[in-house]
Every structure is written in structure tokens, then in C-alpha cells.
Amino acid sequence: MSKQARLKGVAVLVGLVVLLAGARPAVSQNSRNTPPRVVSRVEPEYTQQAQDAKLAGTVLLRVAVGTDGVAHNINVVKGLGMGLDEKAVEAVQKWHFQPATRDGEPVSISAQIEVNFRLK
């Protein structure tokens, strides 16, 4: 069976939730502060084991989005198991971000990324 056929009926939804680490000044409409933004992303693969078990849910990752636009220090905060945690991490390692800015300058920032695995 081809990989395409095996993945038929599988949906992977990905969301980015940015949490500012520590106390930061509020971002006003006139400021030059912006959160990181996903520029390109790779969708994670659904493992055969998880598909067979009909496992669905969310993997929550904590990352540091660097000034280089790459996720660093990726940690699983809430996992699903059956290989989906690892697949979520592997995918996010390949993502590229527009870095967060403070006063117009790129800054590293902590963020949480939700990778949702849903079977159709």
C-alpha cells in the first residue's frame, strides 16, 4: 500500500500559540512589537501505529523561536504517544518563522505550538 493511500482520511491541523516569556510590556497599536509568524511549515506524518489505534488529539510543544526564524529547544509539554510526539517535533524542526520583534528588532521568544492529529 502506498504512503498516499495509507494517509488518505488523515488530517493534521497545526496551530501556533505564542506565550510571551516573563513580564513583557503590553504591545500597543503604535509599537513595533510583533509575535513570531509561521512563514513555511512541514506537516507532520501520522504514524501507522496511531492510525491503526485510531488515535487522535493534540501534541503541545514548547519552543524558543530564535532571531534566525527557527524553533530551538523543542520540548513536548503534552504528548499523545505512539510516535506522534516525535513526528510533531520532527515537523516543527523544519518550520521557518518570521521572528518576533521588540522595538523593531528581532528577538527570541518562547512559544507553544499545538499540533492536532485528527482522523477523518
CATH number of domain containing 51: 3.30.2420.10
Cα(52)–Cα(115) distance, rounded to whole angstroms? 19
User: Residue 12's pLDDT is what?
Assistant: 53
The parent domain of residue 70 ranges over 11-21+34-119
- The per-residue pLDDT for 86 is 97
- Nearest 5°: phi and psi at 85? -60, -45
The residue to which cell 530551538 is assigned: 72
Q: What residues form DSSP beta bridges with 118?
A: 11
Task: Give the pLDDT score at 84.
Answer: 96
pLDDT of residue 109: 94
Instruction: Read off the pTM.
Output: 0.77
> What is the per-residue pLDDT for 119?
84
CA distance 34 to 47: 35
Residue 29 lies inside a defined structural domain of this protein: no
Residue 26 lies in a domain: no
pLDDT-flagged residues of the chain (< 70): 1-31
